Structures are given as C-alpha cells and as structure tokens.
Amino acid sequence: MAPQIEEITGRYAHIDIEGLPHRIYWEEAGAGIPLVCLHTAGSDGRQYRAVLNDPEITRHYRVMVFDMPRHGKSSPAAGTVDDDYALTVQGYLAQIIAFCDAFELENPVAMGCSIGGRIVLHLALHHPDRFRALIGLQSSAHVDPYYDTTWLDRPDVHGGRMCGAFAHSLMAPTSPPEHVDETRWHYMQGGPGIFKGDLHFYRGAEGDIREDLGRIDTAKCPLHLLTGEYDFSCRPEDSEALAQALGIGVTIMPDMGHFPMSENPEVFLTYLRPVLERIRAG
C-alpha cells in the first residue's frame, strides 16, 4: 500500500541575518496570502504541522514555518555554537524580517505562539506596514519570572528531559496524549540552552512591551489574540489585560494549554480558520 504523504515540503534557504550567513530550514504548503508561523521557545516548526496540512487553510494561504537559528534543523551560524545564547528583541525581529525579505513576501500575515505571540506585538510596534495582519497565540505583554530557568540548562540535569517535562506542565490535561507527546518530544530534542536562551526574551525586561502598547495602532495592522485557558505562563487574564490595553478582543480557548497548534491541533483549527477567513475578507 502506498504511504500517506503529506503536502508539506521542507527545504533550506541561505539567508543573512544581522550580517551573519545562516542556513535556515523552513517548511511550507499551499498558495496565496503568505502566513508566516513562529514557533515557541525551545521548540521548532513541527508545532504547526496541522496548519500546514489543513486544506481549508492552504487553499488560500501559503503557510511558511521556519526553524529559528539554533532550533530544529536550522543550525547555529558558523562559529557561534558555543556562544552564551540569549534571544533579544532586535535579534528576533531581524530573523523574521530577513525571512520575509528573502522570500519577497508581500503583506504577509505573521502568527506566533508564546515568544512568537510576544514578538508579533513588537512587529506591530516596529513594522506595522509590513504585515497584513498579526495573530498572537498565548500572547502577553510581559511575564514576571516565577521559576528558576537555570534548571533548564545545567550539567547535572538532562536538558532534554527537563525541558520536555516543563513543556508537559504547560499543556492541558484534556489535550490528546499523542499530540502532548509529540509536543514535548520537540522540547526533548532541543539543543542545549536554547529554551533558556529564548526565555531571556520572554521573561523579565528584554521583551516587556507594556510601556509601548499605547504606540501600537491595531487599525494600521489588525491583531488577533487566541489564548488557551490551561496556560499558566501566559494566563487568560494576561491576554485579557493585553487586549484591554490595545482596545481589541481576545478569544479564550477552553481545554487548551500553552501550545494550541501542537497539543490539540484539530480543536485549534476550529478557532484559527474563522480568524484567517476574516483576514482574507478584510
């Protein structure tokens, strides 16, 4: 019997980011409006497998998912593998803009989760003219540190096991076990220190955008927010506070945790499709 083959294609693109050559792995499917998807801290683009495989979406959207440098199949730039990695606002924005520029994407939609849900706020602030719309999953303006991230990367704790177990904590008990396992496996495969390094952007001062929310004009670039109710990293009340500050709505997804597109993809798609329809109609 012939195997079932998914419509996703994965290739490598050579892209300069902040003056350094990178070999970036990306996956894509579909045609139409570019939809650039941004994975969570410490993981990779496999989180968006259901979006890439959804014919209702790929009929109208060119879904593109790249692995951030150091993540998934995008290796660190030459000579940087031993660097003390810490993601910054400037560096993260540069990756996304470089990817969009490299593929000459016109008016793409960007959708990000967690750190990706935070960086879309920075895209709204700094690059509103570049995007047709933005979608923030598990999106908040800041997170106060509530646990010690040094446990994620130290010599006497297996980083993969630790990061996988912590990712498991962030998922809803109602999510299908096979997708929970898939999601934590991505974390178990992450490179040493990348989860902790990404959280440099997410927690504390680096990515905190509270003071700049007043300068974001959602009329210029519409922003859509979707948040799972079991998430304790970006809690529903955190997204609601963000939405209130921006004067927009937020959809709270029951029975969903921190990784909606990956931990419970079929249910998540029922929330995403209407948002993409509205963006297309708009």
Partner 1 sequence: MFDDLTRTAAPGTPLAAQARGLDMRLMLRAGEEDTLVIIRDGAVTEARRGPHVTPTWDTRLAAAPGDWAEFLAPMPRPGYHDIYALLRNRRMAFEGNLLPMMQNLMYIKRLLASLRPEVA
Query: From the list 21, 106, 176, 232, which residue makes contact with partner 1 (rule: CB under 8 A)?
Result: 232
212 near partner 1, judged by CB under 8 A: no
Q: Least distance from C-beta 252 to partner 1, angstroms?
A: 10
Tally helices (H) and strands (E) across the chain: 10, 8
CB 256 to partner 1: min, Å: 10
Element (H, E) at 137: strand 133-137
Minimum distance from residue 90 beta carbon to partner 1 (Å) = 29
Stretch binding partner 1 (CB under 8 A), from 53-61, 104-112, 227-235, 271-279? 227-235
- Is the Cβ of residue 131 or residue 187 nearer to partner 1 in the bound state? 187
Spell out a b/e string for 208-235, using b for 16 or more CB atoms within 10 Å of the CB, else e.
bbeeebeebebeebbbbbbbbebbebbb
Q: Which of residues 120-149 bind partner 1 (CB under 8 A)?
A: 146-147
Least distance (Å) between residue 190 CB and partner 1: 15
Q: How far is the CB of 146 from partner 1 (least distance, A)?
A: 5
Nearest to 139 by CA among 68, 225, 253, 256: 225
The enclosing H or E element of 275 equals helix 265-281
Instruction: For residue 81, state whether it binds partner 1 (rule: CB under 8 A).
Output: no
Q: E strands, 18-94, where? A: 20-29, 33-38, 61-66
Residue 229, interface with partner 1 (CB under 8 A)? yes
Closest CA to 228 of 217, 220, 218, 239: 239
Ranges within 160-189 binding partner 1 (CB under 8 A): 161-162, 164-166, 168-170, 172-174
Handedness of CA 270, 273, 277, 278 (dihedral sign): positive
Does the footprint of partner 1 cover residue 3 (CB under 8 A)? Answer: no
Contact with partner 1 (CB under 8 A): which of 90, 157, 181, 210? 157
Give the three-state DSSP class for 225.
strand
Q: Phi first, then psi: what are they for 121, rounded to 5°?
A: -70, -40
**Using CA atoms, how far apart are residues 228 and 256, in angstroms rounded to an integer?**
4
Contact between 151 and partner 1 per CB under 8 A: yes
Minimum CB distance to partner 1 smaller for 33 or for 152? 152
Q: Does 215 bind partner 1 (CB under 8 A)?
A: no
For partner 1, the binding residue among 99, 202, 230, 268 (CB under 8 A) is 230
DSSP string, 91-120: HHHHHHHHHHHHTT-SS-EEEEETHHHHHH
By C-beta, is 182 or 212 nearer to partner 1? 182
Instruction: State the residues that interact with partner 1 by CB under 8 A.
Output: 146-147, 151, 156-158, 161-162, 164-166, 168-170, 172-174, 229-230, 232-233, 236
